[in-house]
Chains A and B, each alone.
Chain A
Amino acid sequence: MNGLEVRKLSSKTILWIILAAVVVLYGFPFVYMLLTSFKAPIETIAVPPRLLPSEWTVANYVSALSRSGVTASFVNSIVTATLSTAISLTLGLPAAYAVTRFRTRLGRFFIVAALVTRMVPPIVVGVPMLSIFRNLGLSDTSIALAVAHTTISLPLSIWLMSSFFEAVPSELEEAAKIDGCSRLGALWRVVIPVTSGGVAVTAIFAFLASWNEFLFALLLTAVRAQTTPVVIANFQTQFGLDWGSMTALAVVYSVPVILLTLLLQRHIVAGLTLGAVKG
């Protein structure tokens, strides 16, 4: 730890209290959503609102999950995110490796171009994409949506993986090559296994990018391939303001990824900060 750490006990206590307050405030919205989802449907909009359910019930969950299209949308979300992650890694790993290991002019151009694509607002490419997928006969399919989501996650994957590959000493591959590995073999058998933690982080970010994405899902899917974020958004327009069911569905959709985060938090922190700190 560096010189910023406070040593005096009294000031440390005060800081702990401040931190506790900050954490409680920061965590409160989600906790409140969790509590609300267990209230009786009518109690969710009671005036004045209560913090705790007066009676704990899963009625909201039952009504949210039994609605038509909700289960199907979960399947779509999982399929789309998995597909998108697979495409993103398949394309991104070799590209990131090429950029970091060979340092060609083309590679530098490529990585800057990838950064620029990150700045393109989805609304700009979404509608032309719609006609591309229509021409390919892929409208309203999970594949089309996965491809669209990969346009978001691929640049990110390339940037993340470049930072991880950067940390691998090139002597490691030299050794592999002397042992008779081809360059591709060295990547596949030596470099990727060594950076498996980084690959996992990249996969999680690619998955999350797709799992949480809304605009492409709204534009590119109609019924068959609709993912859960679109269904959640539709709750309000089609069925009036059914807060109880909405909170229940939002909880069901968010809890798996939050648990995943807590489980893999150390890796995720590494992934989030690598690109920015190492530049």
Chain B
Amino acid sequence: MVDRAGGLTSHPRRPAGSTSRTRLTDRRFAALLMLPAGAFLAVFIGWPLLQFVIDGFFKIAPIAGGPREFVGFGNYVRLFQDADFIDAAWRTVLYAVIVVTLEFVLGLAVALLFSALGNASRVFRTVFLYPLMIAPIVAGLLWRFLLIDNFGIVNELFTRVGVLHSSTDIQWLSNPNIALFSVAIPDIWLTTSFITLVLFAGLQNIPGDLIEAARIDGARYSTILFRILLPLLRPVIAVALIVRGIDAARAFDVILIQTNGGPQSSTETLSLLIYRTMVRFGDPGLASAMGTVYLIAMLAVAVAAILSIWRPGSEEKR
């Protein structure tokens, strides 16, 4: 069975629905199969989303079923004058950039390391997987425990090896100047594996004779990396970075459990600000306006990233 299937894949794919007899019904059949999932997504994402966007135009009392007053773009005017919102927006961008940059550099380095070591590195690749399975809330908690001053092991180890004078020298999570970097650490720890795996898989697909030829021509490793590997990996890198960038910009659990947005709001990203505005301050209208701007920005960035990195027209071949 397997052999037969394998043998068949080499045949050119027949265009689907090429027989005119079944064409229309095939299309209907396909629509029918997509209907349940489509309806589900429409009801449980589309509808709440619509409601959320509409809420942004109202001033809403925090109690359930309370009075609503239409204020037009009032909430939007308020939020663009709101320093908290502007700051949180920049922080979200900075956070995503920190996470994605470090993950990409580390992830690529490890992927190249795995490739250089060949098949023998398989066991280590497994070890590299495990943080992906850990709940972000657990990872945040764990790193908070590791980074805490006094009894945190990180500062203790730094002190032992002589980098720090005392174990309270770096206040990872309570110094507002570095807290945003510190809260990003668990996120990086959790998902660098994802970048590594994706890039490693991409590297496996690059034909070996290409690299061989470059080597014979005397190309240095850096030349091979920047002239051959990275350009060929471009689509893979694009997908990995977009996926991770979006996830990082939505980060909530990891930050909430570590600092709850503090100290002095230095780690309050948009997710946390919206949550706080909605649940704690009881201003769902304003929170909805914030969320709408956040959502639109995210979609815009994602579309722009896809278009620029993927290069429309030169669609990647499977």
A218-268 residues with Cβ-Cβ distance < 8 A to B are: 219, 229, 232-233, 236, 243, 246-247, 250, 253-254, 257-258, 260-262, 265, 268
Q: What is the interface residue range for chain A against chain B?
A: 35 or more
Max chain B CB contacts within 10 Å: which of A158, A166, A250? Answer: A250
CA distance A102 to B295 in the complex (A): 32
CA distance A26 to B193 in the complex (A): 10
A58 CB–B CB distance under 8 Å:
no
Which B residues touch A272, using CB under 8 A?
132, 194, 197-198
Closest-by-CB residue of A relative to B38 is A110
Q: Interface with A: B74-82, B176-184, B252-260, which one?
A: B252-260
Q: When the two chains form the complex, which single residue of B29, B129, B135, B302 contacts A212, counting CB atoms closer than 8 Å?
A: B135
A151 CB–B CB distance under 8 Å:
yes
A178 CB–B CB distance under 8 Å:
no
A91 CB–B CB distance under 8 Å:
yes
Interface SS of chain A: helix, strand, loop or mixed? helix
B262 CB–A CB distance under 8 Å:
no
Q: When the two chains form the complex, which single residue of B14, B194, B215 contacts A3, counting CB atoms closer than 8 Å?
A: B215
Closest-by-CB residue of A relative to B252 is A215
Q: When the two chains form the complex, which single residue of A4, A128, A134, A279 contacts B211, counting CB atoms closer than 8 Å?
A: A4
Q: What is the interface residue range for chain B against chain A?
A: 35 or more
Which A residues touch B31, using CB under 8 A?
98, 104, 106
A32, B41: Cβ atoms under 8 Å? Answer: no
A176 CB–B CB distance under 8 Å:
no
A170 touching B14 in the complex, CB below 8 Å, given contacts A19-B117, A32-B153, A277-B236: yes
A62 CB–B CB distance under 8 Å:
no
A275, B239: Cβ atoms under 8 Å? Answer: yes
Distance in Å from the Cβ of B297 to the closest Cβ of chain A? Answer: 11
CA distance A34 to B196 in the complex (A): 25
Which B residues touch A2, using CB under 8 A?
115, 203-204, 206-208, 211
A276, B124: Cβ atoms under 8 Å? Answer: no
Which A residues touch B13, using CB under 8 A?
169-170
A102 touching B141 in the complex, CB below 8 Å, given contacts A125-B48, A273-B198: no
Contact with B along A23-67 (1 / 0, CB 8 A): 100110110110010000000111111010000000000000000
A107-127 residues with Cβ-Cβ distance < 8 A to B are: 107, 110, 113-114, 116-127
B123-147 residues with Cβ-Cβ distance < 8 A to A are: 124-138, 141-143, 145-146
Q: When the two chains form the complex, which single residue of A5, A236, A250 contacts B138, counting CB atoms closer than 8 Å?
A: A250
Q: When the two chains form the complex, which single residue of A27, A103, A121, A150 contacts B294, counting CB atoms closer than 8 Å?
A: A121
Q: When the two chains form the complex, which single residue of B5, B48, B118 contacts A172, counting CB atoms closer than 8 Å?
A: B5
Which A residues touch B208, using CB under 8 A?
1-4
B9 CB–A CB distance under 8 Å:
yes
A29, B26: Cβ atoms under 8 Å? Answer: no
B267 CB–A CB distance under 8 Å:
no
Which A residues touch B215, using CB under 8 A?
3
Q: When the two chains form the complex, which single residue of B41, B49, B52, B132 contacts A114, counting CB atoms closer than 8 Å?
A: B41
B64-90 residues with Cβ-Cβ distance < 8 A to A are: 64
A123, B11: Cβ atoms under 8 Å? Answer: no
A215 touching B253 in the complex, CB below 8 Å, given contacts A172-B8, A247-B145: yes
Distance in Å from the Cβ of A87 to the closest Cβ of chain B? Answer: 8
B261-317 residues with Cβ-Cβ distance < 8 A to A are: 270-271, 274-275, 278-279, 284, 287, 291-292, 294-295, 298-299, 302, 316
Which B residues touch A279, using CB under 8 A?
235, 239, 316, 318
A276, B243: Cβ atoms under 8 Å? Answer: yes
Which B residues touch A18, using CB under 8 A?
113
B187 CB–A CB distance under 8 Å:
no
Which B residues touch A106, using CB under 8 A?
27, 30-31, 34
A124 touching B141 in the complex, CB below 8 Å, given contacts A5-B116, A214-B252, A261-B130: no
CA distance A249 to B94 in the complex (A): 32
CA distance A2 to B229 in the complex (A): 12
Q: Give B contacts to A, CB under 8 Å.
A: 5, 8-9, 11, 13-14, 16-17, 26-27, 29-34, 36-38, 40-41, 44-45, 47-49, 51-52, 55, 64, 110, 112-119, 121, 124-138, 141-143, 145-146, 150-153, 156, 159, 167, 189, 194, 197-198, 200-212, 215, 235-236, 239-240, 243, 246, 249-250, 252-253, 256-257, 270-271, 274-275, 278-279, 284, 287, 291-292, 294-295, 298-299, 302, 316, 318
A-B contact pairs, 18 of them (CB 8 A): A4-B203, A4-B211, A12-B116, A19-B113, A23-B127, A23-B128, A95-B38, A106-B31, A113-B41, A121-B249, A134-B64, A154-B41, A169-B9, A236-B141, A236-B257, A261-B130, A276-B202, A277-B202
